[in-house]
Amino acid sequence: MPELSSYGFALRYRGHWGVRLRLTHGRLEITLPRSHQSPVDVRLAGRAYRVEPGETRRLTLPE
């Protein structure tokens, strides 16, 4: 069976509809749709990141 090159899905999180997450080899991409909602704080490997509405953040996954 071949490995997945990427996996993505959308979800609702704290009033944000259509938050998109995409996993690829070594990377997590988070996209928030434009809205008047608050930013979303993300923690990954002990670091904190803020994603603003309308923004895409690309985070490197730890080994």
Q: How many domains does the chain have?
A: 1
Q: Is the residue at 11 inside a domain?
A: yes
Q: Is the residue at 1 inside a domain?
A: no
Range of the domain at 19: 6-60
Q: Is the residue at 48 inside a domain?
A: yes
Give Cα separations from 18 to 2, 3, 30, 38, 47 (angstroms). 29, 26, 11, 14, 24
Residue-wise pLDDT for 4-55, tens only, equals 789 999 999 999 999 999 999 899 999 999 999 999 999 999 999 999 999 9
pLDDT of residue 60 exceeding 80, the answer is yes
Q: What is the pLDDT of residue 63?
A: 83
Q: What is the value of pTM for the model shown?
A: 0.86
**Interior angle at CA 31, CA 54 and CA 43, nearest 5:** 115
Given pLDDT bands bounded at 50, 70 and 90, which one contains residue 3?
confident
